[in-house]
Amino acid sequence: MVMPQMSALAAGLSGAGHTQRIGVVFGMKRRTADLAEEPVAFVALPDGRRIAYREFGARDGHPVLSLHGTPGSRLKFEMADAEARHAGLRLISIDRWGYGFTDLNPRTTLAAFSRDMEVVADALLFDRFAVMGISGGGPFATATAACEGLGERIAALALVAPVGPIAGTPVGLKMSPFHVFAFRAVSQTPGAVRLGFGGFRSLLGGHSALAMKIAAARASTVDRSVVCRPHQRQSLVEAFRAGLAFGCDGPVTDMRMFGRRWDVDPRTIRCRSRMWLGTADRNIPIRAARYLAETIPGCELTELDGHGHYWVIDHIPEVLGWIARTFEAGLGSRPANQI
């Protein structure tokens, strides 16, 4: 999860000559624009809304519903295309609510999101499939795995550096001052969230290096080293741009939901589950992620000593390999500690 710091954004925007341009940039298109330049597909929902997605990996592989972080987009998992083909996995990488070409849901709850994913699974004719959530996609992946309507169709749940439950849990009072501010105050102030991410969005248009420098301002040293690599930085920039192309509804919705009590119960999850969590991750409240792992029955928690939030960029084959082995073993939906 990337939460731009207000003071740094203000300085960055001023220095870049963007004080009057927050919320505008990089040739925005309407959500109904011609998509000929990118193979985006859509699932139509019963109420007329649409979920946009891209596919990566093996076209005939085991399906994996892949959920990006905050902010992010369908392009997040483009980095995993070759590795997914090698693992025999078909990644369905969606734009979550309010990001990219996906419409908002007026009912902004995790349970409502899981019902949307049930429609997606039905439309794409998934018999059994896995769910993978990274960072801010973690709560949504957890909700999907807990969806009563999907039941044993969920083969596996993979969580990487996820945002865990905060409100109404023991971890709510044990966060860093920054996370307390972000998740207990700013998250419930849509105008502040929109201002922060609007500034970030503006910088992505013509000053992407500065935008990423600000995004990594409070990250661990190991994470800053990853973001500094040209290829990885450009991959993140493109995913962020695509997700914020039409505005900041996505992160505003995410932050509001992160700061509220979850309306799904992770204790009802019955699929094989695993979480990867870097001990040097400063982007998310680590205690909340650990609490989530403890709450999911049989979830295997892999703590990565000295690694940070962006561990997955270099280690996506490990995550995909675990998912592939779960499918190949033909395991049922009973909890287990490891595979």
User: In this prediction, what percent of the chain has a pLDDT beyond 70?
Assistant: 86
Lowest mean pLDDT among 78-87, 166-175, 293-302: 166-175
162 located within any domain: yes
Predicted confidence at residue 283, as pLDDT, reads 95
On whether residue 32 sits in a domain, the answer given is yes
What is the pTM assigned to this prediction?
Answer: 0.89
Report the pLDDT value the prediction gives residue 270, as an integer from 0 to 100. Answer: 95
Give the pLDDT confidence score for residue 331 in this predicted structure.
52
Note whether residue 337 is domain-resident.
no
Instruction: Give the contacts of 88 (CB within 8 A, at least 6 positions apart).
Output: 58, 61, 62, 324, 327
Report, as an integer, the average pLDDT of 200-227: 92
Whether residue 22 lies inside any domain: the answer is yes
Q: What is the pLDDT of residue 170?
A: 81
Q: For every residue of the chain, which 3-state class applies, written as one string?
A: CCCCCHHHHHHHHHHCCCCCCCCCCCCCCCCCCCCCCCCCEEEECCCCCEEEEEEEECCCCEEEEEECCCCCCHHHHHHHHHHHHHHCEEEEEECCCCCCCCCCCCCCCHHHHHHHHHHHHHHCCCCCEEEEEEHHHHHHHHHHHCCCCCHHHEEEEEEECCCCCCCCCHHHHCCCHHHHHHHHHHHHCHHHHHHHHHHHHHHHHHCHHHHHHHHCCCCCHHHHHHHCCHHHHHHHHHHHHHHCCCCCHHHHHHHHHHCCCCCCCHHHCCCEEEEEEECCCCCCCHHHHHHHHHHCCCCEEEEECCCCCCHHHHHHHHHHHHHHHHHHCCCCCCCCCCC
Q: Establish if 91 belongs to a structural domain.
A: yes
Mean pLDDT in residue range 221-228 = 92
Across all residues in the chain, what is the average pLDDT? Answer: 88
Say which CATH number the domain at 150 has: 3.40.50.1820
Give the whole-number percent of the chain exceeding pLDDT 90.
78
* Domain extent for 199: 6-327
Domain total of the chain: 1
Give residue 174's pLDDT band: very low, low, confident or very high (50, 70, 90): confident
Q: Is the pLDDT of residue 7 over 90?
A: no
* pLDDT for position 218: 86
Residue 103 lies in a domain: yes
Whole-number Cα distances in Å, 273 to 10, 136, 299, 327 = 41, 17, 5, 12
How would residue 9 be classed by pLDDT, with cut points 50, 70 and 90?
Answer: very low
For residue 129, CA distances in Å to 132, 133, 249, 338 come to 10, 13, 28, 18
User: Is residue 19 over pLDDT 80?
Assistant: no
Give domain status of residue 335, yes or no: no
Pick from 111-125, 219-233, 323-337 the range whose average pLDDT is largest. 111-125
Mean pLDDT to the nearest integer, 152-167: 96
pLDDT, position 86: 97
In this predicted structure, what is the pLDDT of residue 236? 95
| Residue 312 falls inside a structural domain | yes
Give tens-digit pLDDT for 46-86.
999 999 999 999 999 999 999 999 999 999 999 999 999 99
